[in-house]
Structure formats: C-alpha cells, structure tokens
Structure 1
Amino acid sequence: MRAAYDEIADWYETEFLPSTRPGDPLGIRRAITEHLGPGSGRCLEIACGTGVHAAQVRELGWTPFGADLSAGMLGHAAGRLPIVRADASRLPYADASFDAAITVVAHTDMPAYPAVLREARRVLRPGGRFVHIGVHPAFCGGFADRADPAAVVIRPGYLDGHWTKNSWTSHGVRDKVGASHWPLPELLNAFLAAGLVFEGFSEGGAPVPTILSIRTSAASRQCPSAPASGPR
C-alpha cells in the first residue's frame, strides 16, 4: 500500500521541518515532557513519521520504537529509532508489549483513529501510559481560518467530521495530503470505548490553542467475576 505521505516525505524532512519556527511554539515538546514524562521501558510512537520525536523520548529515559504506514517517511526515521512499516489500526506487536505509547500530531492522518486507539490499548501493558498530542479539534481544521493569528475565524463545518484538503495556508501539510476531523465529543468517546482512562489534559499554541494533549492509561483487563457464593 502506498501512503499519502510517500509523495511528500522528502519535502517534509528537508523543507517543512526546517521551516517550522524555532523553539516550541505549539508546546509539543512541553506536552511530551509533561504527559509522557521520565520513565523506562519500551515506548511506541504510533505514526512516527520521520522519527523527529525519538531523541526527546530517549532523553526522558524511554527506549523508543516507531510504526508508520509511509515507507517514504520511515526512510528518514530509520537512523533515529527502530521502525516497522504498519497500518496503525493493525499493529504487528503482541498484546501488552509496550510500557508506553504516543501519537504526535498524527490522529488527523488516520481516518480510523478509534481503531488505532484500540490497538494502542492492546499493545500496552495494563496501567501503561498512552499520550495523544494532536491538532486541537475545536480550533483547527478545514473550518478554522488562521490566516490572521490575532483573529482566528471558526466557520461552519466543525461538526461535519469529514476528510478535507481545505487549509488556510499552502505551506503546511493539510492541503497536500488532507486531514480527518474528529469533533471533541467523538474524539474523547473513542478513548473511553478503547479502554483508556483519562489522567490529564493540556493545550498548546497561542493566542488560540493549536494543540490538545491527552494523557491516559490502559485500563486493566478484568476477567468476568465468578458468581458470588451465598448461603446454602
């Protein structure tokens, strides 16, 4: 299967990433530090792209692994972390094989994101941490005109929940590969349905948030309780 990002992988690595503003203007690095935090063990980045977050994950003490559908993006990630080419809704890992998992600005690239969340839950050990860092569902999307940072305009379309290439800029990714939009209730309910327990939230970007980050843990799998024995 050829992934949409295969067409733009070289542009993404050599032009788009270097063109992003220095520092941490969207608060992505801060969100990784705050929600993933220091730890040890295996951490899977689902939809790792070119692997640009692997160094920070490693600095926090984790051993990073990456999975992505795009062979082109993985070509740039290969020297940054161990990788596998895979559909995020069908990860080639055993149950409970990771201590943590993250997705970073990726859920809008995955039309089947509820299935991805179920897979994240499956490959996590009970109690393992899953961190979602994604574009803000209320303020980013084909319905949000951010051409003027001082006056972001929200237009009709927030509840459409569809894939679009509409974008306020021709210098980003959405106009090239499109994006799926998940209204906030649908996004949060998908976490609950996957068996992920909410632990914390944060927003990033200014003056109107661009990023919504969600920290969860994998609920313990429980066997059905045996019927209670009453007096005979």
Structure 2
Amino acid sequence: MAPTAAYEEIADWYEEEFLAAQRAGEGPGAAVTRALIDLLGPVGPGGGVCLEVGCGTGVHAAAVRELGWTPAGIDLSAGMLRHARGRLPILRGDAERLPFRDASVPAAIAMMVHTDMPGYPAVVREAARVLRPGGVLVHVGVHPCFCGGFADRGDPGAVVIGPGYLDGHWTKRSWTDKGVRNRVGASHWPLPALLHAFLDAGLTLERFAEGGEPVPFVLGVRARKPPAPGARGEPAPEARE
C-alpha cells in the first residue's frame, strides 16, 4: 500500500499560518535551529550535500547553507514541496525507500519529522544506508519525554505528565487545537526506543541537545556511520593478526 502524505491537505496552512507564528517567536523554531546548528556543524573541506529527509517546506535549508553545506530535500507531500521550491533542490519520494545509492551522501538531517513517520526506525536505516562511511545523521525532533498525548503543556510555567509515556502509540490527542498534532496526529516512541533506532541501524551516537521551556520540547541527536574498514589508517579486518 502506498504511503500517505499526511501534510498534503494542510500544506498551505502550515506554511502561511503555523510557520508564520514560528517566525514570530511563538513556537519551537529557534530551539530547533539551535540544535541543528550545534549538531550538524560546519561542513568540512571540499563541501558536501546535506540531505533533509522529510524536508517539508524547506525552512531549514537556510541554516544548512549557512554552515557551508549544500542542502537538498525529499518529502512525500507535493503540497509541502510546492512551498519548498526556491529554498533547496527537492525530490518527491518515500523516506523509507530513499532513491539514492548506498554510501552516496556525506550528511543527512531529519527535522521534527519522527512523530510524522510511523516507520521511523526504517527511515533511520535508510538514512544510514545512503550515508557515506563517516557521514553524520542529525535528528532534531519533539522531545519524547515531555511532549505527546500524555503531556499537557497548556500552562506555560509547567508541564503535567499523565499515563501513557511508556506506551508506543499514534494519537491525535493534543493540549492545543492550534498546532499540528490535532490535525495529522503523532507517533510516539519512548526515549530508549527512539535511541535504539539509531543503534539498530548501525550508527554510533555522538552528541545530544535539548531545548525549550519550562522543560525541553526539542531533543537532538547526532549519529555517525562508522568509517569503512581500513580508513584513517585502521587495518581492514582480514589484515589483522
């Protein structure tokens, strides 16, 4: 069965209202950008492509470009990609079946999308497949411990956590009717399950970031694909005594 583009019907609202509020400082946009900059970091000598998996309207391309990377994006929603044109090169496609060769890109990012992807562990595996040895994957997403159908963030000075955190699930339950989750729903993974997705894909966890108040609503992870055997002076396994 073909995957469904959950954002297709709300693409214009997302760009023209939701992101406008983010730019006005009424959402997590600044914390998301800080985590991206901290974890991705400047490009190395010679430059390189940074693939955004689930790029949406391409709002993160400017930050990627400022770090010296060449942004490129893929998304399932034609409506979202319509707004991304002009911000970065784009391709419509399924994040669980990336149309790229093995070991073909030096960096990839997944920005605030893991809650939108019921098969996110498969997405991480695909990102790991297309990364070059030594390449990095940066994940910046909703913090699984403090956001979800179990968390009431209606009070700006406190977050009330109810039952349900340990139960992986999909829900449209949300503390606000002005956000994304009550429109498209969200998938939830407890923190161990989320981090295991990177380890199970063969990636090495390197750095983490949190952001937001009164408790973090953003969690960032940088993971790296191990270098190829024999790289950086390391002998290939068959050459060892």
Residue 204 (structure 2) aligned to one of 197, 204, 212: 197
What are the superposed Cα offsets for residues 147-206 of structure 1, whole Å, 9 maximum, x if unpaired? Answer: 002121000010111110000001100000000001001011111000111111110001
The aligned residue for residue 17 of structure 2 is 15
**RMSD over equivalenced CA pairs, Å:** 1.8
Q: Distance in 2 between matches of 1:186 and 1:107?
A: 12
What amino acid does structure 1 have at the position aligned with 2:135? G
The aligned residue for residue 128 of structure 1 is 135
Moved over 4 A (4+): 23-26, 221-229
Q: Does 1:171 align with 2:159?
A: no
Q: Residue 79 of structure 1: CA displacement? A: 1.4
Q: Is the CA contact (8 Å cut-off) linking 1:26 and 1:210 kept in structure 2?
A: no
Query: Structure 1 26/207 Cα, relative in aligned 2: closer, same or farther at 3 Å?
Result: farther
The aligned residue for residue 79 of structure 1 is 86
TM-score (norm 1): 0.94
Q: Secondary structure at the match of 1:158?
A: coil
Q: Is the CA contact (8 Å cut-off) linking 1:162 and 1:181 kept in structure 2?
A: yes
The aligned residue for residue 57 of structure 2 is 50
Q: Does 1:27 align with 2:26?
A: no
- Percent identity reads 65
Q: Secondary structure at the match of 1:117?
A: helix
TM-score (norm 2): 0.90
The aligned residue for residue 209 of structure 1 is 216
What are the superposed Cα offsets for residues 85-137 of structure 1, whole Å, 9 maximum, x if unpaired? Answer: 11101000011111110011110000101100111101110010110000001
Q: Residue 25 of structure 1: CA displacement? A: 6.1
Stretch of structure 1 that moved more, 19-28 or 91-100: 19-28
Q: Distance in 2 between matches of 1:120 and 1:109?
A: 16
Q: Is the CA contact (8 Å cut-off) linking 2:22 and 2:29 kept in structure 1?
A: no
Q: Is the CA contact (8 Å cut-off) linking 1:26 and 1:206 kept in structure 2?
A: no
Aligned residues: 229
Q: Distance in 2 between matches of 1:110 and 1:160?
A: 17
Q: Is the CA contact (8 Å cut-off) linking 1:69 and 1:87 kept in structure 2?
A: yes
Question: Structure 1: any 5+ residue segments left out of the alignment?
Answer: none
Q: Residue 22 of structure 1: CA displacement? A: 3.3
